[in-house]
Chains A and B, each alone.
Chain A
């Protein structure tokens, strides 16, 4: 895709498992295992998937917060060499991140003013007075009163704190904001406020979001395109409407079937039986989903299906669909 702002190819992150006093490596966690996707300007791409499937790691790897084992990233046509080194620093100004936990992502010992100003200080943007002004601006932009600037994070509610995090991410006028589950720690009423704020910001500032979530409702609401991850792989990636209308990968299907309805008259009949859920440490051979898949065959055990395009433009990694 040529109009892509960000293009990710073969992104891979492996963590060594170290043990013992000498910290010898005894295994690898294949947290992210070669994923490709792209993100357009003003677009929201969601990453959904279950806990531990590598969503956050993907986000952190993009920010260079964890070292990518392999893969390339092209940003605005320019290749960020191997996701390492100094090119990353400049890249970071243009890509920012908002974390899930609004409590732990703000330093409890810093005033809100200092938290929001930190990126300006780090990148030496403007004079002291300009930074001051910018902080006030940003606070207003995310719906905080600038007179609260001298308060500490614990004096704010969860939603307000998430706003502080967003203000900080906005400070450097990034083109992409990675939102790592920004609302999953919030009550629905507050969650709605933040989702609205993110939508407003995109409309007004034209940022793109890489939106990480495990909540299909939220994903459906906010994204243009959706990538479904399972154990470090993207198993399906499609436009939102297409995906929700017709989930193709069996895992996508399972996710949707599991989401509670919001209609007591249309209850699901959930199965009480339990799956043995594999982890990134002990990945099954072949298609990682095969132990839980009702379509699984010998082929699935043997070969990992590639992400291949389907008629309607979506990409699916499944031998059978």
Chain B
């Protein structure tokens, strides 16, 4: 079985396990990897959050799980196991059977992620019919049921409406319904609330938490908002420039962040009445095709040593169940 730190869930067997995943992109700047050494695991009923700055490879990781990477990107190595089967080795039809049935995805921008010329109901029913042998009307009924499940007001009517006729929050509910239509075991949600207002975000987060409790699925939730992480995560992976820099339970992470990047992030969040300066992280993220030799964060790190610039830090367990990649931290 997996030996990577991420799988160290004492009690539970992961439904999804990723090992040493590497994703490369071919483009203007040649071929370079956008995600490397990515390992993770989630168990049923668990919520894993992945946070990180824009462009650090969160979405790429998520898409790779369903083998839905854009054309320019390809999986260059590693394993993705769902219920013991290596997704990367499956044939095209087998992967298609997996999608929606075993693993489903919720996308960030529901307006563009839904087909503008098809009704919500049809789009959900289509997913149902793909995986279940049912009649069109039964699939439609199922779609309405699912809309009810996500607490869509007036589900019968909404099922007959087009995406542009719904408000942002309702669209996201439709998107969630679409993902839930075939009771997937794993749900990957890529920034499901970033496009929404706070009050609506609260509702959607409430809904997601609620559904997980009821359906018991494993969940990967991608976000850039530590607030969201604090609200919903069981465990958290912090990414920087395509790699994990820290992984811990949500409590450990917020109580004792180890990696200077994580610390920087937390310091940068304006909180409380403190009108004083925020602890910002100077500089910007280096481009993926031109990462420094050592630790990718070193150029921005206040505590970087010569070693950090030369050698990439190992991703190690710094405290029980709390992993980080940093040379300068020896807190045990």
Contacts and interface: CB of A to CB of B under 8 A. Distances in A.
Given A192-B278, A195-B270, A270 B198 contact: no
B272 A189 contact: no
A290 B265 CA distance: 38
Contacts of A218: 270
Contact of B284 (A157, A191, A270): A157
B210 interface: yes
B157 interface: no
B201 interface: yes
A77 interface: no
A217 B225 CA distance: 12
B202 interface: yes
Interface stretch (B63-71, B102-110, B182-190, B228-236): B228-236
A269 B267 CA distance: 25
Interface in B261-317: 264-275, 277-282, 284-285
A267 interface: yes
Interface stretch (B34-42, B119-127, B132-140, B167-175): B167-175
A139 to B, nearest CB: 16
Given A217-B269, A270-B209, A187 B230 contact: no
Contacts of A51: 168, 197
Interface residues of A, number: 50
Contact of A188 (B151, B199, B202, B265): B265
A277 interface: yes
A263 B266 CA distance: 11
A158 B53 CA distance: 12
A256 B211 CA distance: 24
A275 B278 contact: no
Interface string A143-162: 00000000000000111100
A50 B54 contact: no
Nearest to B232: A267
Given A187-B54, A220-B270, 16 more contacts: A50-B199, A51-B197, A160-B284, A187-B224, A188-B265, A189-B268, A190-B280, A192-B279, A217-B271, A244-B273, A259-B227, A264-B250, A270-B203, A272-B207, A274-B173, A274-B203
Given A221-B278, A271-B203, A277-B167, A260 B230 contact: yes
Contacts of A191: 268
Nearest to B205: A270
A118 to B, nearest CB: 25
A39 interface: no
Name the prevailing secondary structure of the A interface residues. Answer: helix
A276 interface: yes
Nearest to B280: A192
A121 interface: no
A260 B228 contact: yes
B254 interface: yes
A272 B193 CA distance: 13
Given A267-B230, A274-B170, A189 B199 contact: no
A288 to B, nearest CB: 14
A258 B231 CA distance: 11
A264 B230 contact: yes
6 smallest beta-carbon distances between A and B, as pairs: A270-B206, A260-B227, A221-B270, A192-B268, A192-B280, A258-B202
B250 A259 contact: no
A50 B197 contact: yes
A262 B281 CA distance: 19
A23 B190 CA distance: 40
A261 interface: yes
A279 B282 CA distance: 40
A244 B272 CA distance: 9
A275 B202 CA distance: 11
